[in-house]
């Protein structure tokens, strides 16, 4: 939401959204200093919650340095040293969106350090998986890294941006699967509903992409309309678009709904 206008908050409230869950993400350009990330974390934990509150929406967030900015190990280390300073903020749910972008060795080192921080502070984890031809390999690397730490519980990790060729490995190993809905990339609502019809609704959530590029904050409500058009029942739809994300995020004692 740091990249959106207040019109999007108004639209979400009008559509019946109950809360906003915002991961730390790439700003559309590479930040070049730890001070920039400090200000960004202040924006996520102080300023954005106040902006959302004007529309009656609780705002929750996650903290990390995004995989797209993980090649600079010195900067990444400095940013990760900042994270514990913000961990006690009342709207922080966990560490995310961590993961891999190009599956590089440096990205993997930063991922492992993020996992260590999450384990030390008993935090939920939100994971970004790479796109296109790197997705299957990257997802495998991520799952292995998470499983290498015995303190990490798969039920407290959501592996986001799953697609048809990665969702089964995520669910089979006990993790949550996230489907990110975009108008022109990642996953369309039709593909997401196809996956739900094939794999069921347990440990799966949908999220609306909402960033600097072409994206739709109301993608999940739009998907709910398509589910209804496919003759799915209200309890089935409600579980996917509401009950599932609530169940996952309520594993954090900070998550509260109005």
Would 203 be classed as within a structural domain?
yes
Show the DSSP H helices in the chain as ranges.
6-14, 34-42, 48-53, 73-86, 105-120, 135-147, 167-172, 189-199, 219-229, 234-238, 244-249
Indicate the pLDDT class of residue 183, thresholds 50, 70 and 90: confident
Q: What is the rounded distance in angstroms from the CA atom of residue 179 to the CA atom of residue 162?
A: 6
Residue with tokens 């048809």: 164
Residue 97 lies in domain: 6-249
pLDDT, position 17:
94
Per-residue pLDDT at 185 exceeds 80: no
pLDDT, position 27:
83
**DSSP label at residue 88:** T
**How confident is the model over 195-208, as pLDDT tens digits?**
999 999 999 999 99
Would 116 be classed as within a structural domain?
yes
pLDDT, position 34:
96
pLDDT, position 62:
98
pLDDT, position 19:
96
pLDDT, position 29:
85
Would 228 be classed as within a structural domain?
yes
Q: What is the rounded distance in angstroms from the CA atom of residue 91 to the CA atom of residue 258?
A: 14
How remote is the C-alpha of 129 from its chain's centroid?
Answer: 10
**How confident is the model over 21-59, as pLDDT tens digits?**
999 998 888 888 999 999 999 999 999 999 999 999 999
Indicate the pLDDT class of residue 79, thresholds 50, 70 and 90: very high
pLDDT, position 209:
83
In this structure, what CATH number is given to the domain that contains residue 172?
Answer: 3.20.20.140
Would 258 be classed as within a structural domain?
no
Q: What is the rounded distance in angstroms from the CA atom of residue 111 to the CA atom of residue 28?
A: 20
**How confident is the model over 115-154, as pLDDT tens digits?**
999 999 999 999 999 987 799 999 999 999 999 999 999 9
pLDDT, position 131:
85
Q: How many domains does the chain divide into? A: 1
Q: What is the mean pLDDT of residues 78-100?
A: 97
Per-residue pLDDT at 186 exceeds 80: no
Would 257 be classed as within a structural domain?
no
Please, are residues 86 and 37 in contact by the beta-carbon 8 Å criterion?
Answer: no
pLDDT, position 213:
78
pLDDT, position 58:
97
Q: What is the rounded distance in angstroms from the CA atom of residue 141 to the CA atom of residue 88?
A: 30
Q: What is the rounded distance in angstroms from the CA atom of residue 214 to the CA atom of residue 182?
A: 8
Integer-rounded Cα Rg, in Å, for the chain is 17
pLDDT, position 214:
81
Mean pLDDT estimate for the chain: 95
Would 256 be classed as within a structural domain?
no
Residue 141 or residue 209, greater confidence: 141
Would 255 be classed as within a structural domain?
no
């Amino acid at each position: 939401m740091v990249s959106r206008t207040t019109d999007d908050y108004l639209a979400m409230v009008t559509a019946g959204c109950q809360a906003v869950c915002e991961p730390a993400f790439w700003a559309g350009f590479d930040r070049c200093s730890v001070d920039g990330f400090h200000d960004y974390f202040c924006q996520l934990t102080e300023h954005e919650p106040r902006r959302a509150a004007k529309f009656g929406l609780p705002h929750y967030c996650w903290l990390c340095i995004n995989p797209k900015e993980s090649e600079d190990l010195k900067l990444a280390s400095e940013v990760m040293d900042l994270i514990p300073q913000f961990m006690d903020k009342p709207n922080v749910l966990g560490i995310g969106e961590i993961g891999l972008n190009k599956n590089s060795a440096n990205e993997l080192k930063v991922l492992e350090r993020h996992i260590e921080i999450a384990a030390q502070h008993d935090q939920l984890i939100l994971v970004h998986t790479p796109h296109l031809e790197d997705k299957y390999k990257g997802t495998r690397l991520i799952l292995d890294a998470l499983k290498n730490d015995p303190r990490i519980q798969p039920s407290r990790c959501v592996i986001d941006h799953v697609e048809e060729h990665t969702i089964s490995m995520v669910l089979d190993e006990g993790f949550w699967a996230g489907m990110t809905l975009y108008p022109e990339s990642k996953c369309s609502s039709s593909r997401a509903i196809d996956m739900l019809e094939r794999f069921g609704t347990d440990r799966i959530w949908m999220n609306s992409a909402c960033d600097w590029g072409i994206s739709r904050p109301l993608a999940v409500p739009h998907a709910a309309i398509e589910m209804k058009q496919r003759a799915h029942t209200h309890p089935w739809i409600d579980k996917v678009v509401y009950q599932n994300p609530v169940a996952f995020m309520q594993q954090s004692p900070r998550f509260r709904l109005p």
